[in-house]
């Protein structure tokens, strides 16, 4: 496999090409792109993505992060957005590039004595598809908590959503009411083929291969108004759970723009 290394002295940016996958890296940002998508990972956000763009369309996903705001620590945001000293690594194997972000959930103004580390992997090939694996590694005294702890991202220009539930497809148009729309604890995902589809102004987003361990207490869709839909993978959402063991979730995102 040939690789091209190019140093751009004006921006102190390195571009590496793995076949049709290009990776651009500087001190504050890593951008991984193929013929379809470009994923922008920011050091200022714990090396998690601030946006994903589709070629010819623009930003379609944004605000990937992990956080808790009650039940584990005192109330208030503790999350990946406040991690300013995270780590990032890149690995290429068999036509796929894996970008791994590592860090800890942090508060803006308070040191965490008991920590929750995270490892998030983004796998890109030359397809309009992204594979995501999230692992949280609490370093805490064993105990059960009732709390909120979630990984999420935002979908732009959403018009409608569909979920493959235990009893078949659940579907609803986006409306003006801000709040939770569908929740897996009330209407569980299919065991054999768990997927969520979001229909947008420019096409469809398919989220499939959804898996969590232990089973996420609540996966839900949130209407943030203005066509902004937020998908939450709620590791914890109010139910009692042992906090000292790892939490994992993985899923695939496939992008299907409207052909004109």
Could you read off the pLDDT of 217-258 as tens digits, one per residue? 999 999 998 999 999 999 999 999 999 999 999 999 999 998
Q: pLDDT confidence of 6, banded at 50, 70, 90?
A: very low
Indicate if the pLDDT at residue 13 is higher than 90: no
Q: What is the pLDDT of residue 18?
A: 86
Q: Chain-wide mean pLDDT for the chain?
A: 93
How many angstroms separate the CA atoms of 2 and 186, rounded?
Answer: 51
Q: What is the pLDDT of residue 231?
A: 98
DSSP at 47:
T
Q: pLDDT confidence of 94, banded at 50, 70, 90?
A: confident
Residue 118, Cβ neighbours under 10 Å: how many? 24
Can you read off the two tokens belonging to residue 246?
A: 């790892």
Q: What is the pLDDT of residue 260?
A: 57
Q: What is the pLDDT of residue 3?
A: 39
Asked if residues 189 and 235 have their Cβ atoms less than 8 Å apart, the reply is no
- pTM check: above 0.95: no
Residue 74 phi/psi, 5° resolution?
Answer: -65, 160
CATH architecture designation of domain 3-257: Distorted Sandwich (2.70)
Rg value, the chain, Cα: 19
Indicate if the pLDDT at residue 103 is higher than 80: yes
Q: What is the dihedral of CA 99, 102, 108, 113, to 10 degrees?
A: 170
């Amino acid at each position: 496999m040939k690789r091209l290394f190019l140093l751009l002295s004006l921006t102190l940016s390195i571009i590496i090409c793995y076949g049709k996958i290009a990776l651009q890296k500087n001190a504050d940002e890593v951008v991984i792109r193929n013929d379809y998508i470009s994923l922008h990972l920011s050091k200022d956000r714990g090396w998690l993505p601030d946006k994903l763009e589709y070629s010819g369309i623009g930003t379609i996903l944004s605000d990937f992060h992990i956080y808790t705001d009650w039940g584990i620590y005192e109330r208030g945001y503790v999350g990946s957005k406040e991690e300013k000293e995270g780590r990032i690594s890149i690995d290429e194997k068999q036509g796929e590039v894996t970008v791994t972000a590592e860090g800890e959930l942090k508060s803006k103004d308070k040191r965490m004595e008991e920590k929750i580390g995270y490892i998030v992997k983004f796998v890109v090939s030359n397809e309009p598809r992204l594979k995501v694996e999230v692992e949280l590694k609490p370093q805490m005294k064993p105990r059960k908590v009732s709390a909120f702890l979630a990984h999420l991202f935002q979908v732009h220009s959403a018009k409608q959503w569909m979920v493959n539930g235990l009893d078949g497809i659940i579907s609803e148009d986006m409306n003006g009411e801000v709040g939770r729309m569908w929740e897996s604890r009330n209407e569980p995902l299919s065991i054999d083929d768990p997927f969520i589809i979001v229909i947008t102004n420019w096409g469809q987003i398919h989220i499939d291969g959804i898996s969590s361990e232990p089973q996420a207490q609540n996966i839900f869709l949130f209407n943030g108004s203005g066509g902004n839909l937020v998908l939450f993978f709620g590791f914890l959402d109010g139910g009692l759970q042992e906090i000292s063991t790892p939490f994992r979730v993985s899923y695939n995102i496939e992008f299907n723009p409207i052909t004109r």
